[in-house]
Amino acid sequence: MKILVRNLERTVTETELLELFKQYGTVDTCTLVLDAETGKSKGFAFVEMPHGREAVKAIKGLNTLRLHGTGIRVKQAEEKPQA
């Protein structure tokens, strides 16, 4: 399941996110989205977890968690419609 993580402070790292999600199970990928020009965080990330139950637990457990002083938003990512 692909998970969208929003409202991240710009100081949060991929490693920190990976460690948070690994508490709930197996993580395939963790990608912090960066600005192409500045290389700095855009404040959101995508995490992929192969097991649906673990992903649902992570979403429920981490949504609204305060990370670096800000409440993060965690939900299942929506697939982009095919053009």
* pLDDT computed for residue 83 by the predictor: 66
Work out the average pLDDT over 58-74.
Answer: 97
- Would you give the distance in Å from CA 68 to the centre of its chain? 14
* pLDDT computed for residue 76 by the predictor: 98
Q: 3-state SS string over 40-66?
A: CEEEEEEEECCCHHHHHHHHHHHCCCE
pTM here is 0.92
pLDDT digits (tens, 9 = 90+) for 5-16: 999 999 999 999
Amino acid identity of residue 4, one-letter, is L
Q: Which CATH class is domain 2-8+20-74?
A: alpha beta
The CA–CA distances, whole Å, from 7 to 32, 37, 51, 67 equal 12, 20, 24, 10
**Residue 54: other Cβ atoms inside 10 A:** 18
